[in-house]
């Protein structure tokens, strides 16, 4: 199975946050699954850290790649097709990062691991 992490899912996983669901945990620890972190999520992490709204144990440039490598997560770049798909999305989310994650899931035809059930409005599978 392939799946894309919502930003909070990546953070909760790496910070051992109890809000991470048992289903998401099982999907993420299953070595047969290919888990992706979007470049959009990394961008969101960088912005929140720079504004002081997120505290990481190290700089994003160090912490994010180390966390991805340690957990065998792959990066999902933002492709032009992903950006263009945002145009087709109804305005359920005003957050541009969430809209881009939804577009990536639609284009790549993969589910999103997220506690945010509003993503289902976009016609994507949300696993939690």
pLDDT classification of 94: cutoffs 50, 70, 90: confident
Q: What are the CA-CA distances from residue 128 to residues 5, 106, 113 (Å)? A: 11, 18, 6
d(CA 45, CA 128): 21
> Nearest 5 degrees, angle CA 112-CA 114-CA 118?
95
Inform me whether the pLDDT recorded for 93 exceeds 80: no
CATH of the domain at 92: 3.40.50.1010
pTM, two decimal places: 0.95
- Give the number of domains in the chain: 1
pLDDT digits (tens, 9 = 90+) for 18-31: 999 999 999 999 99
**Residue 21 lies in domain:** 2-127
pLDDT for residue 92 is more than 90:
no
pLDDT at 60 over 80: yes
């Amino acid at each position: 199975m392939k799946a894309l992490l919502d930003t909070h899912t990546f953070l909760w996983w790496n910070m051992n946050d109890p809000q991470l669901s048992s289903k998401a945990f099982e999907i993420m620890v299953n070595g047969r699954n290919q888990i992706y972190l979007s470049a959009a999520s990394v961008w969101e992490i960088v912005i929140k850290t720079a504004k002081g709204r997120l505290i990481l144990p190290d700089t994003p440039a160090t912490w994010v790649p180390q966390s991805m490598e340690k957990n065998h997560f792959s990066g999902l770049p933002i492709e032009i097709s992903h950006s263009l798909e945002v145009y087709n999305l109804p305005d359920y989310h005003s957050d541009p990062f969430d809209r881009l994650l939804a577009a990536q899931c639609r284009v790549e035809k993969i589910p999103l691991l997220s506690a945010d059930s509003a993503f289902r409005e976009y016609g994507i599978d949300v696993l939690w």
